[in-house]
Structure formats: C-alpha cells, structure tokens
Amino acid sequence: MNDQNLLRGLLLAAIAAAFGIGATRYPIGEFSRAGPGLFPLMVSCFLMVIALAVIVRSRFVKRIPIDFSIKNIVLIIVALCGFAVVSQFLNMVFGIAFMVFVASIAGRPFSWVRSLKITVALVAVAYAFQYFLGLNLPMPGLY
C-alpha cells in the first residue's frame, strides 16, 4: 500500500472508531437531553464520514506515494511537546506561538506571515473558549 490518500483515510477512520468506541463508555442520552457521550460520538461519526469520503476518493485519483520525512516528524513532536512545556511554565499564548512556528518549519514554503496569522487565530479561539465556555486555561486575562 503506497497510497498517501488511502493511508490518510484509514488513519482518520481508525481515530474516529477509537473515539466513537470511547464515547460509548459515557451515557449518550437523547438529543433533547444530551449525555456526556453524545458530543464525542457525534464528532467521531462526522469524522468517520469524512474518512470514508477520503477512502473512496483515493480510489479515483492518482496515487501519491508515501514520503516520510524524519525531520518533519521530529519537528511536529517537538512542537507539541514544546507547547505543553511552554504553556505550563509561561502561558498558553506563548505555547501556541511556539507550536505554530516550530510546526510551520516542517511545511513548504515557510512563511512568517502565515505563521503569525495562524497564531493570532488560535489565540483568539483559545480566548473565546476561556470566555464563553469558562475553561480554565493558563492565559493572561483580558477582563
């Protein structure tokens, strides 16, 4: 199996199945009175639909050979671990910036402007989660 699109679809399907099975450990409830397992189950169902679409699509498009780059894999792992460490010891805004800029080095071409835009958008989402959902995130307060 040397098809990047097929592998991508199978990986998405495995993730969707794992989270869907995990969601059934919690009470699902009904749409009128949702239990804690309903949201993750719905998200995993939507992800499974996307995975199936990617798998079907991979049969009709030109095969893309799988190309692993150890450098890029290491950069993504460093970005994720660095996000956790920087968020713990400084704050989440710096953690998000670190994660985006380090992970962007793995992309082609690297763009400071694009990385800055992604950072601003993710920080805005984090503040929205903190403000509207009341999440306790390690971020400086705006209010």
Between CA 20 and CA 36 the distance in angstroms is 13
Q: What number of other Cβ atoms are within 10 A of residue 3's Cβ?
A: 17
pLDDT at residue 143 in the model: 53
pLDDT tens for each residue of 53-90: 999 999 998 888 888 789 999 999 999 999 999 999 99
pTM, entire model? 0.67
Q: How many residues does the chain have?
A: 143
Of 10-14, 49-53, 59-63, 134-138, where does mean pLDDT reach its minimum? Answer: 134-138
Residue type, 41: L
**Amino acid occupying residue 121:** A
> Count of alpha carbons within 13 Å of 68, Cβ hemisphere only?
5
pLDDT over 70, % of the chain: 98
Question: Which residue in 14, 15, 11, 17 sits closest to 58, CA to CA?
Answer: 11
